[in-house]
Amino acid sequence: MRKSTARPGSVTKLPTRTAADDAPSPKAAATPHRKPTALPKPQAAKRRFQNIDRSIRARNAQLTNGMSVNASQAAWLDWGRHLAQAPGRQQALAERAVENSRKFWLSMFGIAEGFTPRRDDSRFAHDGWDSPPFNIWKQGYLAMEDWWTAATSEVRGMRHKSVERVGFQAQQILDAMAPSNFPLTNPEVVAKTLESGGRNLTDGARNFLEDAVRELSGEAKPMPEGFQVGENIACTPGEVVFRNRLMELIQYAPTTDKVHSEPILIVPAWIMKYYILDLSQKNSLIRYLVSQGFTVFCISWVNPDASYADCGLNEYRKQGVMAAVDAVSTIVPDQKIHACGYCLGGTILSIAAATMAREHDTRLASVTLLAAQTDFTEAGEVTIFLDESQIAYLEDMMWDQGYLDQDQMAGAFQALRAEELVWARAIRRYLLGEQEKPFDIAAWNADATRMPYKMHAQYLRGLFLENRLTGGRFAVDGKVIALRDIAVPLFIVGTEKDHIAPWRSVYKIGLFNEAEQVFVLTSGGHNSGILSEPGHRGRQYRIGHRAAEYHYMDPDTWLARHAVQDGSWWEEWACFLAEKSSGAMVPPPLMGAPQAGLPPLEPAPGSYVLQM
């Protein structure tokens, strides 16, 4: 096993490009370069004027971290106009305000029970919130929150997108105003201050200063202490056996005398580093698969800079998924491949698999999609940020930068769960003076990546906004593809608390494909639900099997008909893969294929994963 030579926070330079780096696969031929055709003068002038506007919008977008002010204003105007024309709704809100006031004062005198926080709201868990004066601030806040939640719910005639956006932004403001965020109105902070003689506030001030200096200087957040890529995370032994401009392909060393003849190819999301699937030894999905007698390959995506601005979805398909399929087929010849995609990796894998089916490429044995969406009509809370105005704003910012920066991307996901990821963290770190406990997922989460302008723009517009893939309008090489063409067995995993790929959205692939399908719904969120190793306490899942061309079952009916089981879904997946294999156990293949031009290049985890 190779130890990483990169220091935390150091920058690993991108490797020098060669002609071979641009090849989409080991078998692909070089494509001659063509000079761009010059635009006619009227078109060139029009483009110049458009670029002036785009540059201005890009600068504005940087000031708002990519959020469109126009989209926000339009939502509030839509809400205000419809509410102004709804006197009945106004009367209902006025009566609710009176009732909330009455309930608040009665609770203060102990005559009636007051407002109770949401079940998932941990801000008021401390016992001090039940004593004056803290209970007054708590009840007043909850009364206000209840009223605004009712006020920003849908008014008949409003655009649905406006409803979501107004409610979301109102909650953001309410979260910022919560009494738990201020030292004098938070009983836990007051108690800690008295107990420590104010030490928590001095420690918190130091933490705040450190974070502020790092933010202002643009310094990358360091890897949490005690974790190092290649040492105790991303440390399953293996070799990089193929590399091109977009990815490295890692082949993992076998740990069993015999292996299943069919290999596994994992396509992770390029939104973060691949090693979410290879964290600590105890919860590494890759290490588990290797221990079960599978030959495992995994893509490690490059961390793109501005030079990758023109890389689109098709480049990620060809130079990513298909290049990996070609390399695996060369190293393990004459065997079909179990392909697995996680999050965005599952989306691009489904596109690649449908294209392969259209072209009668039969090299896949099965397709597994982990928390991956193919239909985006119910794509969850992230769609709050996405409409024509918002995407145009993001496109111009990415056009100017050449990529979407990791901090700009992380900000959107933090906003979705601001109560937990922003304010609760700030309270612990700045008011209670606590240091964050280092753990493997936090280390991975801090190791973010960028996304190329063209690819992300195509993803947001073509898939999220226009839903072309399941709408029969997604073309690859000029021809529309269809998910129904994928005939190999599918293993689909959704997670119960997923804010990024809601499980009902993940489940919808059953509407667009008639192949044999296993659907698993596991406890946890987008990442924690996937990291569900055997022996993990409290893990549960539901599993259902659908024969080929069987009638569709809606998700709520499916949920009602499939009982909860204790344990890890990993074991179910291993059984599925073994069942869909030939059954033959063979000696492990060599690492790489030197005789075919694919020698091992360097030990895992490779170079791309170290790029900052």
Report the candidate in 100, 127, 133 with the shortest Cα–Cα distance to residue 114. Answer: 100
The residue whose two tokens read 């056996």 is 241
Check whether residue 510 and residue 606 sit in a common domain: yes
Check whether residue 435 and residue 529 sit in a common domain: no
The pLDDT, as a whole number, for residue 320 is 97
Helix, strand, coil shares of the chain, percent, nearest 5, are 45, 10, 40
The pLDDT, as a whole number, for residue 409 is 61
Check whether residue 580 and residue 516 sit in a common domain: yes
Check whether residue 508 and residue 546 sit in a common domain: yes
Return phi, psi of residue 362, to 5°: -105, 30
Check whether residue 342 and residue 489 sit in a common domain: yes
Structure letter (DSSP) for residue 440: H
Q: Is residue 371 part of a domain?
A: yes
Check whether residue 214 and residue 329 sit in a common domain: no
In the chain, the amino acid numbered 231 is E
Report the candidate in 515, 485, 489 with the shortest Cα–Cα distance to residue 573. Answer: 489
The pLDDT, as a whole number, for residue 67 is 67
pLDDT in tens, 559-590: 999 999 999 999 999 999 999 998 889 999 99
pLDDT band at 24 (very low <50, low <70, confident <90, very high): very low
pLDDT in tens, 489-544: 999 999 999 988 999 999 999 999 999 999 999 999 999 999 999 999 999 999 99
Residue 55 corresponds to which tokens in the numbers above?
């540059």
CB 364 within 8 A of CB 488: yes
As a whole number of angstroms, the distance between CA 331 and CA 589 comes to 7
Check whether residue 424 and residue 565 sit in a common domain: no
Q: Is residue 191 part of a domain?
A: yes
Helical packing angle, 199-217 and 187-196, nearest 10°: 110
Domain count, the chain: 2
- Show Cβ contacts of residue 73 under 8 Å, excluding neighbours closer than 6 positions: none
The pLDDT, as a whole number, for residue 54 is 62
The overall average pLDDT reported for the chain is 87
As a whole number of angstroms, the distance between CA 460 and CA 352 comes to 18
Strand partners, 370: 342, 493
| The three-state (H, E, C) secondary structure of 167-187, written as one string | HHHHHHHHHHHCHHHCHHHCH
Angle CA(130)–CA(135)–CA(137) in degrees, nearest 5? Answer: 155
pLDDT band at 465 (very low <50, low <70, confident <90, very high): confident
Choice between 387 and 608, residue whose per-residue pLDDT is larger: 608
Q: Is the pLDDT of residue 357 over 90?
A: yes
Q: How many CA atoms lie within 13 A of 542 on its CB side?
A: 17
As a whole number of angstroms, the distance between CA 448 and CA 405 comes to 9
Q: Is residue 533 part of a domain?
A: yes
Check whether residue 490 and residue 554 sit in a common domain: yes
CB 153 within 8 A of CB 167: yes
- Domain around 596: 238-377+467-610
Check whether residue 437 and residue 475 sit in a common domain: no
Angle CA(414)–CA(467)–CA(312) in degrees, nearest 5? Answer: 75
Check whether residue 215 and residue 267 sit in a common domain: no
Structure letter (DSSP) for residue 595: G
Active-site residue set:
343
Q: Is residue 430 part of a domain?
A: yes
Check whether residue 422 and residue 530 sit in a common domain: no
In terms of Cβ atoms closer than 10 Å to its own Cβ (0-12, 13-18, 19+), residue 595 is: exposed
pLDDT in tens, 121-175: 889 999 999 999 999 999 999 999 999 999 999 999 999 889 988 998 899 899 9
Q: Is residue 202 part of a domain?
A: yes
pLDDT band at 65 (very low <50, low <70, confident <90, very high): low
Q: Is residue 334 part of a domain?
A: yes
Looking up residue 351, the CATH number of its domain turns out to be 3.40.50.1820
Q: Is residue 203 part of a domain?
A: yes
CB 320 within 8 A of CB 246: yes
Check whether residue 269 and residue 196 sit in a common domain: no
Task: Taking the CA atoms of 198, 200, 202 and 205 in sequence, report the sign of the dihedral they define.
Answer: negative
As a whole number of angstroms, the distance between CA 284 and CA 135 comes to 45
Mean pLDDT value of segment 51-77: 72
Please name the helix (run of DSSP H) or strand (run of DSSP E) that holds residue 59, with its range, or none.
helix 41-63
The residue whose two tokens read 């809100």 is 93
As a whole number of angstroms, the distance between CA 559 and CA 544 comes to 9
Strand partners, 284: none
The pLDDT, as a whole number, for residue 42 is 63
Least confident residue range of 173-187, 377-391, 461-475, 588-602: 377-391
Mean pLDDT value of segment 198-218: 90
In the chain, the amino acid numbered 85 is Q
Instruction: Note the Cα 60 to chain centre separation in Å.
Output: 26
| Beta strand pairing call for 264-267 and 296-301 | parallel
Q: Is residue 545 part of a domain?
A: yes
Q: 91: left (phi > 0), else alpha (psi -120 to 50), else beta?
A: alpha
Mean pLDDT value of segment 275-285: 94
